[in-house]
A and B are shown apart, each in its own frame.
Chain A
Amino acid sequence: MPDLSPDTVLQDLQPIFQEALNDQQIVVTRVSSAFNTPNWDSLAHIDLIEMVELHFKVKFALGELHEMKNVGDMVDMIIEKKEDD
């Protein structure tokens, strides 16, 4: 997966969020979180994480999920994990 920057990761996340949250119009930003995004409940979160893990070929630990407070945290963690690969 070449050229992973915060912007490209965020771009890649858009269709994943649209599918997981069942809303084709939704556009997430770095500050989007379960608190300010419709349909982002605990079940959608599990779907979302599985889809993100599959797409980026990464695996999140429970402790990382615990620290993931918004989309920005998710983007940073994905980049960090890909850099460690």
Chain B
Amino acid sequence: MLFNSFSYILLFLPAVLIIVAVAKRRGGPIAAQVAILIASIIFYAWFRWTNLVFLAASVLANWYLAKRIAGAKDETRKRWLQAGLIANIAYLCTFKYVNFLLGSLPFMHGHEHLIPDLEFPLGISFFTLTQIMYLVDCYERVVKPSSLFDHATFVSFFPYVISGPLATVKRTRKQFRNFGGTPGAYAPMIARGIYLFSLGLFKKTVCATAFSQIADYGFNNAVHRSSLETFIYSATYCFQLYFDFSGYSDMAIGTADMLGITIPRNFDAPLRSKSIIEYWRRWHVSLSSFITTYLYTPILRSFGKASLPKAMLATFLAMTIAGLWHGPSWNFVIFGVLHGVALALNSAWTKKSPIRLPGWFSWLLTFCFVDIAFIFFRSPTLAAAMQMLHDLFSVHHALSTSNLTAMRANFSWPIFGPPIAVGVATAFFGESSEQMAQEFTPTWKTTILSGAALTVAAVFMNSQISATFIYFKF
């Protein structure tokens, strides 16, 4: 069940909100938490019920490991943590990389039927990272181990189980005993949740869909692409991914708000960034925060006294791992490496160079770099990405628009033109949806905006296929 489906918006979500409210009123917070857990199980099983086995196995194993970590002392405690980290990474790698690695072995050519067809459990990348944070936090005594009931509710919480934002036990667990607190505090949360959900639905269903019409054509038709066209295609993919993923995140945060649970923010107008360092503070914030804290910091500390070269190396390694986390493909490795190199150079430039670039030029440089890196993220193969790069930097017919002209034959400007204009304008100017939600007060203006966003989104949902979210495949 997708957030941007009628079954979720008209059936599942209202039913869950009513059942949780009734459970809270009649049976208290525990009954409400039971309702949330059951809703999360149904939501997760809706995609593929067999996935539940893999989620349940991970939840049970990590619940047990956390108890052992908390109960042990000194070296044994460390051993349990190491066992937990290895188990989680192995679990993730088994589903994400085993098929790829076995398929890459030369002696397996012609014997592909022997490679096990491992089902990729939805959300495994996210719920594994969440539980790695939990084990480390238990080891460092930041949190006490949860009961199985609390741990299962925390990990499987349906707004974020599939694609984040990544939440921590410390901030989230206690909220399952509270559910928005008093009715006076909860009511504004529900209103804000509906508002943010409607903005997110509009971003995903209307804006991302409109940008995808151009980006998909450009990436799938490699014939006679000029530099200008290639840049437009890569930029439209950048917008598509931004509206797809930030729209998803807004809907996840909005849903959690409606249930009285606050989960981390994930985007803050990243396409306005004037450096790559700033970009990663604004894009997929919960993941970049995880990378900084749980990858970069331990790597840098393991090098001894921190210095700029060591920090640059740690950044490079952390981002390469983050790239590989997206999937078993050289494209993702290159995507991570590119960002690792750019972040390292950005750090060195900030520290060592007296030259400060004009704001507009810094923004343009950052935006172009992000677009180029996304070519590797979007292209189905390394060869396709290299062809796209070749087209981007080819001087022949640099400004030709013949490919775009062909694309326009199947592109409806009256339908997709306005969402693209709205998308570009909101990506660069005015308040982001996150800021709008943070400053939200229920007024006629916000009510009309929310209603309009929902109505237009419903029209788009009704008239074309409800596309899945890009980050679901990770």
Residues of chain A whose beta carbon lies under 8 Å from any beta carbon of chain B: 34-35, 39, 41-43, 46-47, 50, 61-67
- Whether B311 lies near A61 (C-beta < 8 A) is no
- Whether B289 lies near A39 (C-beta < 8 A) is no
- Whether A41 lies near B168 (C-beta < 8 A) is no
Min C-beta distance of B414 to chain A, whole Å: 40
Which residues of A are found within 8 Å of B99, using beta-carbon distances? none
- Whether B281 lies near A34 (C-beta < 8 A) is yes
- Whether B281 lies near A35 (C-beta < 8 A) is yes
Min C-beta distance of A43 to chain B, whole Å: 4
Min C-beta distance of A33 to chain B, whole Å: 9
User: Among B292-300, B424-432, B457-465, which stretch is in contact with chain A?
Assistant: B292-300
Interface of B is mostly: helix
Which residues of B are found within 8 Å of A47, using beta-carbon distances? 306
Q: How far apart are the CA atoms of A46 and B350 in the complex, in Å?
A: 16
- Whether A39 lies near B350 (C-beta < 8 A) is yes
Min C-beta distance of A23 to chain B, whole Å: 12
Which residues of B are found within 8 Å of A62, using beta-carbon distances? 136-137, 140, 142, 293-294, 297-298
Q: Which of chain B's residues 352-373 have a Cβ closer than 8 Å to chain A?
A: none
Per-residue interface assignment for chain B, residues 282 to 322, with 1 indicating a CB less than 8 Å from any chain A CB and 0 otherwise: 00000001101110111011000010100100010000000
Given the known interface contacts A39-B350, A42-B292, the answer about A63 and B136 at a Cβ–Cβ threshold of 8 Å is: yes
Q: How far apart are the CA atoms of A42 and B463 in the complex, in Å?
A: 46
Per-residue interface assignment for chain B, residues 373 to 410, with 1 indicating a CB less than 8 Å from any chain A CB and 0 otherwise: 00000000000000000000000000000000000000
- Whether A61 lies near B142 (C-beta < 8 A) is yes
Which residues of A are found within 8 Å of B48, using beta-carbon distances? none
Which chain B residue lies CB-closest to A33? B281
Given the known interface contacts A46-B300, A62-B297, A67-B170, the answer about A41 and B140 at a Cβ–Cβ threshold of 8 Å is: no
Residues of chain B whose beta carbon lies under 8 Å from any beta carbon of chain A: 133, 136-137, 140-143, 168, 170-171, 277, 281, 289-290, 292-294, 296-298, 300-301, 306, 308, 311, 315, 347, 350-351
Which residues of A are found within 8 Å of B136, using beta-carbon distances? 62-63
- Whether A63 lies near B300 (C-beta < 8 A) is no
Given the known interface contacts A64-B142, A65-B293, the answer about A43 and B133 at a Cβ–Cβ threshold of 8 Å is: no
Min C-beta distance of A61 to chain B, whole Å: 4
Q: How far apart are the CA atoms of A57 and B137 in the complex, in Å?
A: 21
Which residues of B are found within 8 Å of A50, using beta-carbon distances? 306
Q: How far apart are the CA atoms of A27 and B141 in the complex, in Å?
A: 33
Which residues of B are found within 8 Å of A39, using beta-carbon distances? 350
Q: How far apart are the CA atoms of A85 and B319 in the complex, in Å?
A: 37
Min C-beta distance of A67 to chain B, whole Å: 6
- Whether B293 lies near A46 (C-beta < 8 A) is no
- The residue among A34, A43, A46, A65 with the most chain B CB atoms within 10 A of its own CB is A43
Interface of A is mostly: helix
Q: How far apart are the CA atoms of A67 and B289 in the complex, in Å?
A: 9
Q: How far apart are the CA atoms of A66 and B288 in the complex, in Å?
A: 11
Q: How far apart are the CA atoms of A59 and B171 in the complex, in Å?
A: 20
Which residues of B are found within 8 Å of A65, using beta-carbon distances? 293, 297
Min C-beta distance of A37 to chain B, whole Å: 12
- Whether A67 lies near B350 (C-beta < 8 A) is no
Which residues of B are found within 8 Å of A42, using beta-carbon distances? 277, 292, 296, 311, 315, 347
- The residue among A41, A42, A64 with the most chain B CB atoms within 10 A of its own CB is A42
Min C-beta distance of A39 to chain B, whole Å: 7
Which residues of B are found within 8 Å of A35, using beta-carbon distances? 281
- Whether B306 lies near A66 (C-beta < 8 A) is no
Which residues of A are found within 8 Å of B308, using beta-carbon distances? 43
Min C-beta distance of B401 to chain A, whole Å: 40
- Whether B301 lies near A46 (C-beta < 8 A) is yes
Which of A34, A43, A46, A61 interacts with B140 by CB under 8 Å? A61
Which chain B residue lies CB-closest to A46? B306
Q: How far apart are the CA atoms of A50 and B293 in the complex, in Å?
A: 14
- Whether A63 lies near B281 (C-beta < 8 A) is no
Q: How far apart are the CA atoms of A34 and B288 in the complex, in Å?
A: 14
Given the known interface contacts A62-B297, A63-B168, the answer about A43 and B289 at a Cβ–Cβ threshold of 8 Å is: no
Q: How far apart are the CA atoms of A34 and B3 in the complex, in Å?
A: 33
Q: How far apart are the CA atoms of A50 and B311 in the complex, in Å?
A: 15
Which chain A residue lies CB-closest to B268? A35
Which chain A residue lies CB-closest to B134? A63
Min C-beta distance of A27 to chain B, whole Å: 21
- Whether B311 lies near A66 (C-beta < 8 A) is no
Q: How far apart are the CA atoms of A43 and B292 in the complex, in Å?
A: 10
Given the known interface contacts A39-B350, A43-B311, A46-B300, the answer about A63 and B137 at a Cβ–Cβ threshold of 8 Å is: yes
Which residues of B are found within 8 Å of A66, using beta-carbon distances? 133, 168, 289-290, 293-294
* A-B pairs with beta carbons under 8 Å apart, 18 shown: A43-B311, A43-B347, A43-B351, A46-B300, A46-B301, A47-B306, A50-B306, A61-B141, A62-B142, A62-B294, A63-B140, A63-B170, A64-B140, A64-B142, A65-B297, A66-B133, A66-B289, A67-B168
